[in-house]
């Protein structure tokens, strides 16, 4: 019996533990989920909840109407965001093996940034310190994540351009960075940068600082 329970842990057959939380570190039901969300006490991976804001989803004019942002502008904005966050986290906390950003629209996944460190102790320290920080005028909410294999978390149909659920799919739609930035970030060690994650002081209004 124990072997059977171990074999189905975190799968759809598991009636006790939430398979979605186990696979993607988030669940659309949140605290209302009928199954357990087993939050890890140690992990290489942290998640920064709802940190990335896609300008195509948020850009509005003064009268509240939607403002068009081109795909080129969005990619440039995203690459800048990715480089800023990756560089500072690696410099402050340790080597990053992988960083992924969700481009989903569901509340439980939108803008989530998953960072997998090489060492669990680096991830633990990052969570402890980042929860006292602000980024771009919003409080940072960081926690350890059970996700270590992003191949199990991603929507394969999205990667092939065939997902019919769109932004509200319950599996990760990971936004890619440009090839040049990927070579630049994953082919180098930490470098010095201007701090972009501000200590919390009771006010969430901080100027945007360039790297």
Count of CB atoms within 10 A of residue 127's CB? 18
Residue 89's closest CA among 46, 54, 50?
A: 46
From residue 186, how far is each of 51, 52, 99, 145, 192 by CA, in Å? 21, 20, 10, 22, 16
- Predicted local confidence at residue 187, as pLDDT: 77
Count of CB atoms within 10 A of residue 148's CB? 16
- Quote the tokens at residue 71: 């795909």
Assigned domain for 199 exists: no
- Predicted local confidence at residue 66, as pLDDT: 59
Confidence band, pLDDT 50/70/90 cuts, at residue 3: low
Residue 135, H or E segment? strand 133-135
Assigned domain for 32 exists: no
Can you give the C-alpha Rg of the chain in angstroms? 18
- Predicted local confidence at residue 37, as pLDDT: 82
pLDDT one-digit tens code per residue, 179-207: 999 999 987 544 434 445 656 654 444 43
Task: Please give the residue range of the domain that contains residue 142.
Answer: 37-183
* pLDDT reading at 65 higher than 50: yes
Assigned domain for 120 exists: yes
Assigned domain for 203 exists: no
- Predicted local confidence at residue 188, as pLDDT: 57
- Predicted local confidence at residue 44, as pLDDT: 97
Assigned domain for 211 exists: no
pLDDT one-digit tens code per residue, 124-150: 999 999 998 999 888 999 999 999 889
- Predicted local confidence at residue 198, as pLDDT: 57
- The structural domain count of the chain equals 1
Instruction: Give residues with Cβ within 8 angstroms of 172, minimum separation 6.
Output: 24, 100, 102, 104, 109, 150, 153, 154, 155
- Predicted local confidence at residue 56, as pLDDT: 82
Assigned domain for 147 exists: yes
Residue count (the chain) = 211
Contacts 24+ apart (CB under 8 A), 14-23: 20/170, 21/146, 22/146, 23/147, 23/152, 23/153, 23/171
CATH number, domain with residue 123: 3.30.70.330
Mean pLDDT score of the chain, rounded to an integer?
81
Assigned domain for 12 exists: no
Higher pLDDT, 84 or 61: 84
Percent of the chain whose pLDDT exceeds 90: 48
- Predicted local confidence at residue 13, as pLDDT: 60
* pLDDT reading at 75 higher than 90: yes
- Predicted local confidence at residue 192, as pLDDT: 39
Count of CB atoms within 10 A of residue 155's CB? 18
Assigned domain for 9 exists: no
């Amino acid at each position: 019996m124990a072997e059977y329970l171990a074999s189905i842990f975190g799968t759809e057959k598991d009636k006790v533990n939430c398979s979605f939380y186990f696979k993607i570190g988030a669940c659309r039901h949140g605290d209302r989920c009928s199954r357990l969300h087993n939050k890890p006490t140690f992990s290489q991976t942290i998640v920064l909840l709802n940190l990335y804001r896609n300008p195509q989803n948020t850009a509005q004019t003064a009268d509240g109407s939607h403002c068009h942002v081109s795909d080129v502008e969005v990619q440039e904005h995203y690459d800048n965001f990715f480089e800023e966050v990756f560089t500072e986290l690696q410099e402050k906390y340790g080597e990053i093996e992988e960083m992924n950003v969700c481009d989903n629209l569901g509340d439980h996944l939108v803008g989530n940034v998953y960072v997998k460190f090489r060492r669990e102790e680096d991830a633990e320290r990052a969570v402890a310190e980042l929860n006292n920080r602000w980024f771009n005028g919003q409080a940072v909410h960081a926690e350890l994540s059970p996700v270590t294999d992003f191949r199990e978390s991603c929507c394969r149909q999205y990667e092939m351009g065939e997902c019919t659920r769109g932004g509200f799919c319950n599996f990760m739609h990971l936004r890619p960075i440009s090839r040049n930035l990927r070579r630049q970030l994953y082919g180098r060690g930490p470098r010095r940068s201007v701090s972009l994650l501000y200590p919390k002081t009771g006010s969430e209004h901080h100027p945007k600082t360039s790297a």
